[in-house]
Amino acid sequence: MKKFLTILAIFCLGVGGFTADSAGPHNQIIFLINGLDSASLSLARMAIAGPYGKLNFEKLTHGGYLSTYSFNSWVTDTAAAVSAIATGERANNGELSLDSLGSVKPTLLEEAQKSGKAIGIVTDTRVTFAPAAAFYTHSTNRFKENDFALDLLKLEPDLVMGGGKFNFLSNSQGGVREDGKDLLRTAEKQGYKVLADRLDLVKCSTLNTKVLGLFTENHLSFELDRPADEPSFSLLVEKSIKLLSAKSDKGFVLVLICDRISQALRNHDVKAFVTQFEMLDKCCAGIVDFQKALPDPLFLLMSPFSTCPPMLSEKNDLAYLPNIKASAEYMAAKIDTSGENVGWVMSKYAGVENLSEKEKSKVFYDLKNEFLPLAIGDVVSDRLGIYFLEPTIQKTLASTYGNSAEITPYFVAGPNQDKFSIFMQNYQVGKLLISGLSE
């Protein structure tokens, strides 16, 4: 963290030449924490800072709340929610960076690139997953990720880091592409330096070429489970700011996407959520501190949508959280197909002893499907006295998997901060970001 603060100090004091009297932001850092709302924010604050504490990004003095609904639904899905931020237009659920009539709308990163700024995307999920793809592609189907990998390389951002390597490799290479293409090789031909692990990232000190970092086959690991050779999200942020700040004298736009938060909430996984959030809050600390001294760049931290808001009962037991050693997703992968080791896994990794018949039935019902992490998370969260949307209802919400119509928080600092009002429509944020490119 000290190293991160040093880098940010150099960046804020020496890059871009912006002062408080400048017309607009020289650089933009957009930090999306997906799924967060007032309920989950309260849970994070209670678990990390205590009832009288304050999270690092709450030290920002300007902020408010956002509407989250899409054009065709009160309850947005991820694609439409992020598209509204990326383009300044409401989208239909399931679609990426198209307006309600299906017309292509230019994204913040596309417009920034046209203006001569360096552009970058950092995500803790697949770089072709909907939250990241909304900033560089246009589609009526959010699930065409193999196509999005091609679109990403067509745009040629200066920096892309996250997971999802299998969308860039053919079936014969262990990937999921059926067209036989090796897009990592294509990227290298386009001038990208391809990074594969934490050591590659540590050694990458300059952005003389473009950078494509794909560190996992699928999403990045939860911080709770992260192996030593996989870079942390905080390291990705540190490196991306350092690399992009030296890339263009016209500034940069960097989009940071934390979607694993929403996935932890959908799994009712309190420990994975809290651990992930604590890492993100520490990651924000350096930016927050330097924003107070010098408002460059524009720093916007926000949640595009709400999902599975948690409710803390008066008998909650947050003091038990240190006993949980792995995410529900990790535990699910450790349970064998017969389910005979369920008790052992939940005892070893969650400290849960003496499963009741009701708890066992929850786990065994989902033993062989994608909802097993949810079943495990729900058992553990119940014991913590923290309650979520009933799993049987959540499973039927196919398009959003538990999203809600709750308003979500945002925090902002830097040039143009006074243009953000206490309550805003989600698409209005996108319009402000795009209009700020020309100021």
pLDDT (0 to 100) of residue 293: 46
> What are the pLDDT digits (tens) for 366-397?
999 999 999 999 999 999 999 999 999 999 98
Helix (H, G, I), strand (E, B) or coil at 344: helix
pLDDT (0 to 100) of residue 230: 98
Q: How far apart are CA 362 and CA 370, in angstroms?
A: 13
pLDDT band at residue 88 under the 50/70/90 scheme: very high
pLDDT band at residue 23 under the 50/70/90 scheme: low
Average pLDDT value over all residues in the chain: 91
pLDDT band at residue 330 under the 50/70/90 scheme: very high
Q: Is 376 exposed, middle or buried (0-12, 13-18, 19+ CB in 10 A)?
A: buried
pLDDT (0 to 100) of residue 9: 43
Cβ(41)–Cβ(309) below 8 Å: no
Query: Would you give the distance in Å from CA 247 to the centre of its chain?
Result: 24
Cβ(334)–Cβ(345) below 8 Å: yes
> What are the pLDDT digits (tens) for 75-86?
999 999 999 999
pLDDT band at residue 13 under the 50/70/90 scheme: very low
Output 439 or 225, whichever has higher pLDDT: 225
pLDDT (0 to 100) of residue 87: 98
pLDDT (0 to 100) of residue 61: 78
Per-residue pLDDT at 432 exceeds 80: yes
pLDDT (0 to 100) of residue 93: 97
Q: Sort strands 210-214 and 159-163 into parallel, antiparallel or unpaired.
A: parallel
DSSP state of 104: B
Q: Sort strands 252-258 and 118-126 into parallel, antiparallel or unpaired.
A: parallel
Task: Determine the length of the chain.
Answer: 439
Q: How far apart are CA 159 and CA 172, in angstroms?
A: 27
| CA-atom Rg of the chain in angstroms | 21
Does this model's pTM top 0.85? My answer is yes
pLDDT band at residue 141 under the 50/70/90 scheme: very high
pLDDT band at residue 329 under the 50/70/90 scheme: very high
Please give the full DSSP string across 345-358, using - where no structure is assigned.
HHHHHH---S--HH
pLDDT band at residue 318 under the 50/70/90 scheme: very high
> What are the pLDDT digits (tens) for 112-124?
999 999 999 999 9
Q: Which of 389, 408, 399, 393 is nearest to 309 (CA)?
A: 389
Percent of the chain with pLDDT over 70: 92
pLDDT band at residue 234 under the 50/70/90 scheme: very high
